[in-house]
Each structure stands twice: as C-alpha cells, then as structure tokens.
Structure 1
Amino acid sequence: MRKDSVIANIADDLGLDIKQLSSRKLRIVSRASERYFYVNVDNGNLYIKDRLDRETLCGAEASCYLTFDAVVENPFNIFKVKIEIQDINDNSPRFFHEIFTVEMIESTSSGTRFSLENAEDPDIGINSIQSYKLSDNQYFTLNEKISNDGSKSPELVLEKTLDRETQVIHNLILSAMDGGNPMRTGTALLKIIVTDVNDNFPIFSQTVYKVSVNENTPVNTTIITVTSTDMDEGTNGQVTYSFRKTSGNVHYSGIFSINPVTGDIKINHNLDFEQTQNYELSVVAKDGGGLVAHCKVLIEVLDENDNAPEISITSLSSPTPEDSAVGTMIALIEVHDKDSGKNGEVDCKLSEDVPFDLLLSSENYYRIVSTSPLDREKVSIYDITVIAIDRGSPPLSSRRTITLEISDVNDNPPLFIRDTFFAYVPENNLPGSSIYTIQASDPDTGDNAKIYYSMATSDTEDQPATSYLSINIETGVIYAQRSFDYEQHKEFQIQINARDNGSPSLTSNATLLIHIVDRNDNPPKILYPSPDSGGMAAFEMVPFDSEEGSLITKVVAIDPDSGHNAWLSYHFLHLSEPSYFVITQHTGEIRTSRVFQEKDVLSHKIVVMVKDNGHPSLSSTVTLNLLIGQQFPTGGSQIH
C-alpha cells in the first residue's frame, strides 16, 4: 500500500469518541511500529507512514504481524493493536547461481535422478514457488521432490543414456514459476558435463539434521557432525563437505564453519537468541568424481537469561504540585526484557520508603501514583528508584531512579515568632530614623513566600499613630515620621499585618507596643512661691521670736519628666553669712537655723535653686525676701 493510505479507523475499532481523541492524547507507543504507522487524532484514521515490505519484516514466516500500543489518557488506558501484513506477489523466483554445473558420468543409467539447486522466492503461500520446468531436450526430464518440511526441490531425471564421445556438454534452461497472478518466473542455465564413470553418489545419513544450542555456547564448540558415504573407491569415493551458499544462509557463513573432511560443524561467533532463534544451513557432500549430495542442518538457538530488564520512562509529571490528590499518577514506565519465557518475565518494585506505589497497568506498563498527601515544606525532591527483576535463574535486575520535584502551593501563612513585640524609643528622636524591625517567615517558596507588611492602629487622643510611624512594606523596618514627646504620648500600640504574595494570599498579625522612653528635657517648674510675680521677689514675714528650727515657708516645685529625671532637690544660692536659715534638700522647707538677736540683720534676700536628677540635670530658681519683725498685728506689721 502507498504511503499515507488509510488502514482503518482505530477510534471506531477501539470504541473511542473521535471528539475526545486530541484531549485524551491518543498516540502510538511501540519500539518498532511507530516508523510504519501513525494516527490522525482529528478523524481517528490509522495511516501508513512508510511502504511496508513483508519479506523484510518477517522473512519466510507464514504470518506477519506488527504490533503497537494505543495509549489514551483521562482516563488512562492502553490497547494492544495487531496489524497483519498480507503478502502480494512482488518477488520473482531466483536461483542463487545464474549458471550451475552438473557433472554426470557417461555410464549413468536411465532413470537416474540428480538433485538440483532450489530457486528461492521470499513470497509465501501461492505467491511462492509452485513448480519447475526444464527446456525441451531428448536426454532429460524434470521431477519435483517434496522434502519432509514440504518444500519442493527439482530433480534432473536421465531418460536416455549419455555418450560423452558424442556430446560432452548439455546446456539446458531451468525455470521456476510461482503461483501469483500474474505469474513470475526465474531461470538459470544448467550446464551438464558428461564425465567418465563415477557411478556412486555420496549419501548422507540424514536428509535433515536438527540440533539445539544454548546461546552462550563457547566459540569453536562442535555442535553437530554430518556424515555421508560413497561406495566408490579412490578419489571417486573421497567426500568433502562444504556449505552451499543461498540467499537465505549467505549471512550465516561467518557464524558457522564445517570441517571439509570430518563434517564437524562449529560455532565461529557468539550466538544471540534475541537476534536470531533459528538457522538453516545447506551442506554439500562432493566426491572426487564430482558427484554431490545435499542435506539441511536446522539449528535452534535456546534462550539464556543474558539480558537484564530495561526500564523506560514514557511519561513523567515533574514538578508535581504539593496539593495533588492521593492517587495522582506521577509517572508511567515501561519494562521490557529481550529474553523469552521465564527469562523475559519481569517483576517491579520501588526500593525506598516513599509515599508512592507502583501499579501494574498492562502487560509491560506500570503507573507510579502517590499514596499520601505531599508537603513541599517537608520534602521538596524525591528520588524514586524502580527495581525490575526477571524470573530467570539466576535472575537479572536493573534499576532506574526518577527525580520528582514537588512544586509549591500557598498553603502556609506568614508567621511571627511571637504575638506581641516591644520597642523602646527615646523621646526627641530624629524624624525619619528607623526605630524597630519586625519580620515574619513563610516556609513556602517564590511569590508564595514573598511577604508584604502593613500596619493599622487606633487613633491617639490628638493625632493618629500613622502620622508618627511608617513601615517599609518589603523589609518590615518601622520608621518614626516625627519626633516623640514622652510628656504627650507614652506609648503606641500598632497592629502589624504580614501578607504573602500567593494566590490567594494568606495573612497573619502581631501586636507591636512602642514605649516612649523619657529624656530629661524639662526643667523643674516652681509652683510656690508663684513664678508669675512679674519678676518681683516673693516676701515672707518671719517672727522675731521664732525658735530655732521653726518652719518659715516651703518652696514647692514639680518636674514633667519621669523617673530619675523628676527627682528634685532644693538648694540655697548666694546665702548671706552668717546663715540664719536652712533649707531641707528633698522637701524644700525653709526653717530658722538659730534664735534671732537685736543686733541681727532683719531683712534677707534668699535665692532657692530647684535641681532635677537628670543627666545633665536641669534647674530653676526663685528669689524670696525674708523680713524679721517683732509682731504682726491685724492692721499691719511693725518692722525693726
């Protein structure tokens, strides 16, 4: 059939919906048949890819088949397809030699038969050789001999006694005809040479020899011996052996050798059952007078377990998403062993403890499927080793490792190491400076692990916290937008949100408490005596008769700072000598230091300094005028 001829509609034969052939990925899988056939997924037709030659594919086999697997997916299925190649009469009979010679002694009796060379026709059945014909002559006729295996061989029959002196050479045309329509014919020139008397032919002990040989039989081993006898004497009785070359066995001549004297047939090269299982040799025995006899030697090669199984990956889904359902097919593998029988039967298994199983799909195909959920964050790559062991003795094995990558899905939200974070920031900080870094982690990969940060907060009394703070969305670094004042805001509570870039994205939250740390940036504030006196010193009247240690007045001050920065101490500045008054350092109480005398100065100006405990410390001062008098009537004071 011509190239691109339609053989059949494989979709109809397999019961497949033509509309689904493309989506189900209908394809041909074969080690050899893919070069001869192809399928069209649009119409389901099976076509011839290249011209077929049955004789090249199958030789002289009675039946010729090519097989392949038709594979579809969704759901997965495999169909065995067997194509029979039918013979046509496209080969003519052919003699290996266009001219061959038969030597015949002149004393040969009428009726003597002479075996002739067979013609060959690689066609089979009726298209193969059906008959032979000899050109018209007065001395010979042709007979067809049927061998034990059913093949026909031409025999030359002497009908009339020869006379060498009258005619030494007889040239005849031997024709072979097949049974095709139209019939094909092949011819050869038969040259008959009449010789002097050698009236006994060699005779083989068997017309067909059979022997079975293991394929690992060593080179130079004698596998069989052919024998023949010749009743003549001298050179006419000396037989030599040789292989008769034909188109069928010409390729075997280097594999075997025959001893021309003993008839021993030996192996010259290693045999391989996987290449050739049977050999047919044609052996010629020729005596010294030129008479010949023929026999066949049939050699059967027996299989040895000399081929390990072969593992092929026909489909692999890598990478596989980690959220794949249990039972998802990861790979499809084909296992093949060139040996036959038990030697070619293969068992498969997985070597490691992995969450996958090996399921037999058809005669030579296995599916690797998942048996438990996958988690890329635990295992991102699996090395799955398939071991194939045949059933030979001893068994042979092979292994194939499949590397499977697990692809990420966004199944993990960003995670903070704790729920609440604390930051301490001194007040009066520089605007724009970073004050804290908060980060989350995500065990996913790629965009699924890329984290963006944002913050949310409730408003403070006067302004929202976002006016004070900002966050870098990629790094999680938090910046102060403004300078903090501890006396206005002592802390901020911020909700930090971490969102990954997966689809859909996942989020998590954490709380950040920012405590503003006080700095000594406020001096003490004097409440009493009141600093609002317009620059005038405060006046205090002191009774002249006050006893030593009497409380005269008290300086009262506060500090808006906190902690050590708000610890106050009180001191006199520029105190006159001798000293009439003392001040308590921690309370600010001013008391008399002794009893007053008539000669004492009665008017005193005192400067009080209030100092905090910061570093460096800050201070404030206040001036008091203390006037000492005898008495203080309701109407006024009498001053001395």
Structure 2
Amino acid sequence: MLFSGRGGQGARRLLLPLLFLAAWEAGSSQIHYSVPEEAKHGTFVGRIAQDLGLELAELVPRLFRMASKGGGDLLEVNLQNGILFVNSRIDREELCGQSAECYIYLEVIVERPLQVFHVEVEVKDINDNPPVFRAKEQRFFIPESRLLDSHFPIEGAADADIGINAFLTYTLSPSDYFALDVQANDELSKSLSLELKKFLDREETPEFRLLLTATDGGKPELEGTVQLLITVLDVNDNAPLFAQAVYRVHLLETTANGTLVTALNASDADEGVNGEIIFSFVSDVPLNIKKTFKIDSTSGEIKLIGRLDYEEKSYEIQVKAVDKGSPPMSNHCKVLVKVLDVNDNAPEMAVTSLSLPVREDSPPNTVIAFISLSDRDSGVNGQMTCTLTPHVPFKLVSTFKNYYSLVLDGTLDRESVASYELVVTARDGGSPSLWATASVSVEVGDVNDNAPVFAQPEYTVFVKENNAPGCHIFTVSARDADAQENARVAYSLVERRVGERALSSYVSVHAESGQVFALQPLDREELELLQFRPRQPNPDWRYSASLRAGMHSSVHLEEAGILRAGPGGPDQQWPTVSSATPEPEAGEVSPPVGAGVNSNSWTFKYGPGNPKQSGPGELPDKFIIPGSPAIISIRQEPTNSQIDKSDFITFGKKEETKKKKKKKKGNKTQEKKEKGNSTTDTSDQ
C-alpha cells in the first residue's frame, strides 16, 4: 500500500503483517514521500513514525534506525517526534543524472520484535540549472559568395535539469543578414543553424557579432548565451556538405573494439585543395567520446576503440568537415550512437536467514528468510522472477521491488522430514534468460508430539514360582519418535489390585531401563485365585495361568503350571504354552461354578491340528492340575459335531475319582500307577 503527500497530508497507518517466528516480526509495506531538490536543512519530508504505525516512545527502546541505499546522510529522522527531514543538500542531478525518475530508498529497521519497512522518497527536480553552451564564443567563416538560404550549423546548449525544466527555446539577436533555423530531432534535442537571408558584402561588412540565447521551460526561466562571431571571406565559396545532418547508429554494449560505427559522407563543390575535406571531431568534444571513438580524417569512418558504457545510454558525437581552401570552409553533422543493452549480467541474490531451526508446530506464513534480488541489466533483461523448489511446504511472497520472503506454506513433521534443502532460483527476462540459484537449508525443530510406543501391545512372561526376591524377570522397551529430551522414555507401573494386595507389592519396573523385577517369591497356589486366561492350544495340550501386571502398553507377566496325565491315561507330562492365543473362541476362562468343593471350572476346546486320536500315543482323557484337588475329564464327540466342547469337560475331586476307579475292572499294577500319578510332585518343570 502506498502513501503519498507532503507534510504528512493524507498519511495513513499501515496494517503490518505479523510474522510468526520466535516472536520476531518484519514489515514489508511501502511509504512514498517526495521532496524537492536543494531543500534546506531541516525541511519537513514526512511523519515517518506515525505513517509506519510506530509509537514515538518505542523508537529509542526498539533501536529505531534507518539505512539509505545510495542516499548517504541526505535524510534523517528526529527520534523525539518521528519526523523525517532533510539533513544535507540534495542535488538531483548529482544523485540521478539525467534519469527521468529519482528516488532515495530507505530501509527502516526496529527490533524487539524485528520489523523492516521500505520507504521511497522521490526527489523532485527544480529549475536550478540554466542552459549552458560549451564555449563562450562560436566562430563562423562565411564566404561572401554564399547563396541565400545557406545554413551554418550552431552548437546548441545543454541543461542538466529534466522534463520541462530542460526544454530549451532559442532566440537570436536581430540581424538583416541572418536568421535562426531550429529543427527538432526529438522531444529535447534540436539542431540549430544560421540561415543566410541577405547577400554578404565583405567590403561593406567584414564581420558580424550576434548573441544566441537559450531559455529553458522552468519557472522561473533560466537563460544561457553564446556569442556568434561571423567573419566574411572573399574566396573558396563552397563548404563541405554532409549527406545527412544526423547519423543514427545502434550498437550492442558488447560490441568489440575496432568495429566500424559509421562512415560519414561529405562532399565539396570546389575543385583542387578547396574541395579536399578533412574530418574531425569538434574541438570541445567530451573526453569520454575521445576515449571511445576515433574518426579517420580522410575517409570519415568512425570506429570503436573503447568499451561502450551502457550507463551512458547514448553518445552524441559532433563531427566537423573542413576543406583545405584558404581560408578553409567547414560544415558539421551529428552522430547519435544508442547503446543497446545485452543480457550479460545474471541476477544476483542475497539470502538473509532468520532464527533456525523452525519448530515443527510453526503456523503457516511463518517467515523463514528474506531474499533480495538485483540485476545490473535494464529493461526486460533486468526484470526478474523468483521461484522455489517445487513440492515443499514453503512459498515465496513478494514484499517489495525484487524483495521476497520465504514463508511456511504447510505443516511440518520432523519425524517425517527432519530438514529441507531448498533451492531459490532468480531468472531474468532476457533472451536467452540468465539465472542464479541459492540454497537454503531449513532444519525442522522437534516438538514433543509423539507418545512412547512399545514394541508390542502385550507381553507374555513365564516365571517359576518361589523365585528369589528382586530377581529380573523381563525387560520392556518403548521407543519415542521425537528427538533428544523429547525422546527420553520413563517406565512405571499402572497400579491395580491383585486380590487383596496391590500390584506394586509383586513387581516393580526400573524407570530408565524398563527392567521388571519380582519383589517377592511368587506362589502359584496363591496366585491361582486370580483370573486365569488359557491360551489357544497347539497340537500339544497346554495350560497357562495368567497374572496380569498392568504396565504401559499392557505388559503381562504369566506363570505357567504343568498338566500331568490323570488316572486312565499314560504317565506323561505336557509342555506349557509360551504365547497368547489370538482367537477368543479357542480357549477361555470361565468363572468358578459348582463342580464340587475346592474345585475350579475350566472351559477347553480342541485346538487346530490336535484332534482326539485313537491308538498308541493318544491324548489322555483326564488331567490333574498340580497343587489342586481337582481333576479334569474330557470326552470327544464326532468331528462334525456342533456341540460346544465345553459340555464334555467335567470336574471333580481326586478322592471321588479314586472311588469310581475302584469299581472299574483293572489290574492292581495299573491302579498303583494311577495312584502314583495322582500324587506326582507338582512343582513346575
């Protein structure tokens, strides 16, 4: 948004964009002021603090400062009242030459938080330069035989101002013999000549003195004058004539030395030495033209001998053709050389990074860096565009002429991408286009946004009873996707009741290592009162008793008992299960039911791959739970039977089983064997 006006008229407050990065802020709005050149010290320019939306009391604490690009100390700010004023003499011609526009660019910086503002001050031209002729006197040698309407070139004046202040009009002092002829070449350039209106008579008037006045278009008008001294000659009455008054040439700024610029063509109607022509630059040609061009005195060819300076834009060369008559006669022409820009300068880029790394929870539009571009070419060759590596959560925002901000344009996740290598490309509009690149490394700062995760949701651990107090029984491990302190994991138990006692009276976990310790000997018979959770059987019959210890990620500690064959089955032992069953219907614990005093109720099913077999090695029909007075009896139904297998599991006391077996037929050896099996040592294997 632009604000213009003088003396603070029409000034409005800026709406400054808030930049979210470590409490820093930066502004990118622009204020426009204007001031006439040659203004006195202290001249009011604008209420810069008010226009920028800054409180006067903030200027000193927030380290208000101002930098000028190419403007030196021409302007200053009063920190007491926030007024921008002229500090020293401003000469527009010295600052910007003949440029149509002249600006002083200011960069205003305040801190806590950081804000950057761009201010441009236009320097207005005043008519402070009068027209100036290169010489105080111009001499003319005119033969008395010259015809009426003959023209004699005059070197015009120059004015350092611009626009209307440099628009010149010419007047000639009254004369019966000469009149002023003005031909406009373009808006400001004019070709002047004396036009002969009456035949000359050297014997009557051998010399004329005329005053040529140049007046500019400023208010008030300024003038410059030159004396025209005309000497009337008696002989050699034909001067050289150029084929054209103005030669126009276009050269690329990269044109090599020795290149022919143009070949001047002049002729003289006289004969002999009076018709021989010598070409030369006028005596007061500027030094830069002498260093850049040379002219062949005989052929009139102008060649390049120095490097063209594009900053000059164009060269105006005054050429004189003089014959060898006595007295000699001369004529003038003008060669206008326009320098064409070549796209020979690649864009230049400066990247200023702000505080890094960028937190992964930073909101969109957080400013990451400032980027400024410059190109020494002009026109389309100096017009630049800036692009960013595609497919990244960042974007470029144009804040001012050739100034960009690199801002966040999405969300960051350090765990997915920890850093970005961005490439900023500046490309000019030349053909072919030139470009420059800059790399910006953006590291993503970690935020504690990930909870610890265990390797598995549930652990099954088997512990023999009567263990030593304080023994290590298992180690849990959890990982956190965050970094450094945010990734440190501490372990603890989730307290719950296990029967009449707290879980923490049985086990403990080390907060840093995750090691789980049994605090006291575990008694299987005591823990048998807890809820048991049988697992799905594999081809072996298995049994496990579960002691749940609620920890992070539901870690389970389990103690296993061993099933032994009961009466009527082979005397063999079956291994304990080592993993939890994944299918709820494959095995479950039912609450105790009335199956006899001191007995427990169990629900079992045959597992996959473990059908009831017949013949040698068949699975037993009866099982004894070690340490328990209960015995489990199982009978098998046909394979396709849909009846719940739990209907065929019966429970009873060992004593009742013995009574039943006495009624059965069988030899005493078998009875002794069954009796021995019923009293087998119940310690864990």
Name the CA shift for 1:187/1:143 in 2 (closer, same or farther; >3 Å).
Answer: same
Q: What is the DSSP-based 3-state SS (H/G/I as helix, E as strand, rest coil) of the residue aligned with 1:254? A: helix
Change (3 A) 1:344 1:17: closer
Given candidates 294, 318, 331, the residue that maps to 1:293 is 331
Cα–Cα, structure 1 residues 260 and 27, in superposed 2: closer, same or farther, change >3 Å?
farther
Q: Does the 8 A contact of 2:266 with 2:321 survive in 1? A: yes
Matching residue's letter, 2:440: I
Q: Residues of 1 paired with 2:203 and 2:440: CA distance?
A: 82
Residue in structure 1 matching 2:124, options 74, 86, 98? 86
Q: Secondary structure at the match of 1:224?
A: strand
Q: Which residue in the other structure is 2:27 paired with?
A: 25
Conservation of the 8 A alpha-carbon contact between 2:30 and 2:120: no
* Letter in structure 1 aligned against 2:555: T
- Alignment partner, residue 540 of structure 1: none
Q: Which amino acid aligns with 2:295?
A: I
Which amino acid letter does the alignment assign opposite residue 511 of structure 1? Answer: V
Distance 1:219 1:57 in 2: 31
Matched, 1:123 2:161: yes
Looking at structure 2, the residues matched to 115 and 52 of structure 1 have their Cα atoms a distance apart, in angstroms, of: 37
Return the match for 1:281 from 317, 329, 353.
317
* 1:258 aligns to 2:302 (yes or no): no
| Pair 1:201 & 2:239 matched | yes
1:262 shift after superposition? 1.4
Deviations 1:569-602 (A, max 9, x none): xxxxxxxxxxxxxxxxx9xx9xxxxxxxxxxxxx
Residues 162 and 257 of structure 1, relative CA distance in 2, 3 Å threshold: same
Cα distance in structure 1, aligned partners of 2:181 and 2:511: 100
Structure whose residues are more often helix by fraction: 2
Distance 1:436 1:8, change over 3 A: farther
Letter in 2 for 1:25: G
Give the AA of the match of 2:27: K
2:269 to 227, 231, 242: 231
Find the counterpart in structure 1 of residue 412 from structure 2.
374
More strand by share: 1
Q: Is 1:64 the counterpart of 2:101 in the alignment?
A: yes
* Change in 2 beyond 3 A, CA 1:57/1:286: farther
Q: What SS is found at the alignment partner of 1:90?
A: coil
Contact 1:423 1:514 in 2 (8 A): yes
Given that 1:230 and 1:239 are in contact with CA atoms closer than 8 Å, whether structure 2 keeps it comes out as yes
TM-superposed CA distance for 1:186, in Å, is: 5.1
Task: Note the C-alpha offset of 1:126.
Answer: 4.6
Q: 3-state DSSP class of the match of 2:93?
A: helix
Q: Is the 8 A contact 2:139 2:229 kept in 1?
A: yes
Q: Is the 8 A contact 1:29 1:69 kept in 2?
A: no
Give 2:304's aligned residue.
267
Q: Deviations over 1:184-234 (max 9, x none)?
A: 555668777888844332222211111233444443221322222233444
Count of equivalent residues:
490
Change (3 A) 1:49 1:441: farther
Tell me, in whole angstroms, the C-alpha distance in 2 between the residues paired with 1:53 and 1:449: 64
Structure 2 gap segments, 5+ residues each? 33-66, 110-115, 528-545, 561-626, 628-672
SS of equivalent residue, structure 2 residue 492: strand
* Paired position in structure 1 for 2:670: none
Amino acid at match of 2:336: L
Q: In structure 1, which of residues 393, 403, 411 is the aligned counterpart of residue 441 of structure 2?
A: 403
Measured against aligned partners, the alpha-carbon deviations of 1:415-436 in whole angstroms (never above 9, x if no partner) come to: 22123454869978697x9876
Q: Does 2:190 correspond to 1:151?
A: yes
**Aligned-partner residue type, residue 147 of structure 1:** Q
Pair 1:444 & 2:482 matched: yes
Separation (CA, whole Å) in 2 of partners of 1:16 and 1:29: 9
Aligned twin of 2:555? 511
Q: What is the CA-CA distance between 1:381 and the residue it aligns to?
A: 1.4
Letter in 1 for 2:322: K
- Distance in structure 2 (CA, Å) of the matches to 1:187 and 1:335: 47
Q: Provide, for residues 86-139 of structure 1, a one-character-per-residue CA deviation record: whole Å limited to 9, x for no partner.
A: 3212224433345x56363785779987544433221243566544677x9xx9
Q: Give the superposition deviation at 1:380.
A: 1.4
Equivalent residues of 1:381, 1:405 under 8 A apart = yes
Matched letter for residue 253 of structure 1: K
Q: Deviations over 1:470-528 (max 9, x none)?
A: 66645546678x7x44569989965555xxxxxxxxxxx45364979xxxxxxxxxxxx
Give the distance between the partners of 2:78 and 2:514, measured in 1 at CA.
58
**TM alignment of 1:178-217, pairs within 5 A:** 178=216, 184=222, 197-217=235-255
SS of residue in 1 equivalent to 2:333: strand
**Structure 1 position 170, deviation (Å):** 9.7
Paired residues of 1:122 and 1:128 also in contact (CA < 8 A): no
* Largest Rg, 1 or 2: 1
Partner of 2:139: 102
Using the TM superposition, give the Cα deviation of residue 379 of structure 1 relative to its aligned residue in structure 2, in angstroms.
0.9
How far, CA to CA, are the matches of 1:301 and 1:368 in structure 2?
37
Q: TM-score if structure 1 supplies the norm length?
A: 0.57
Report the CA distance shift for 1:469/1:320 in structure 2 as closer, same or farther (over 3 A). Answer: same
SS at 1:251 equivalent:
helix
**Which 5+ residue runs of structure 1 have no aligned equivalent?**
73-77, 498-508, 517-559, 561-585, 590-611, 615-640
**Alpha-carbon shift at residue 412 of structure 1 (Å):** 0.8
Per-residue CA distance 1:46-86 (angstroms, 9 max, x = gap) = 7668754333455446x4354979999xxxxx999987643
Contact 2:14–2:29 under 8 Å retained in 1: no
Structure 1 residues 227 and 445: alpha-carbon distance in aligned structure 2, compared to 1, 3 A threshold: same
Deviation at 1:451, TM superposition (A): 3.1
Q: Give the whole-Å Cα distance in 2 for the aligned partners of 1:514 and 1:186.
A: 112
TM-score (norm 2): 0.54
The RMSD of aligned alpha carbons is 6.0
CA change 1:84–1:250 in 2 (3 A) is: farther
* Per-residue deviation, 1:408: 2.3
| CA distance in structure 1 between the aligned counterparts of 2:475 and 2:87, rounded to whole angstroms | 69
**In structure 2, how many angstroms separate the alpha carbons of the residues matched to 1:402 and 1:18?**
26
Indicate if the aligned counterparts of 1:257 and 1:267 stay in contact, CA closer than 8 A: yes
- How many Å separate the matches in 2 of 1:437 and 1:151? 98
> CA–CA distance in 2 between the matches of 1:426 and 1:253?
110
Deviation at 1:142, TM superposition (A): 7.8
Distance (whole Å) between structure 2 residues aligned to residue 311 and residue 223 of structure 1: 36
Query: Per-residue displacement from partner, 1:340-389 (whole Å, max 9, x unpaired)?
Result: 67656666655554455668889967776766643211111122334455
Whole-angstrom distance in 1 between the partners of 2:80 and 2:559: 73
**Cα distance in 2, alignment partners of residues 309 and 200 from structure 1:** 56
CA contact (8 A) 1:35 1:50 kept: no
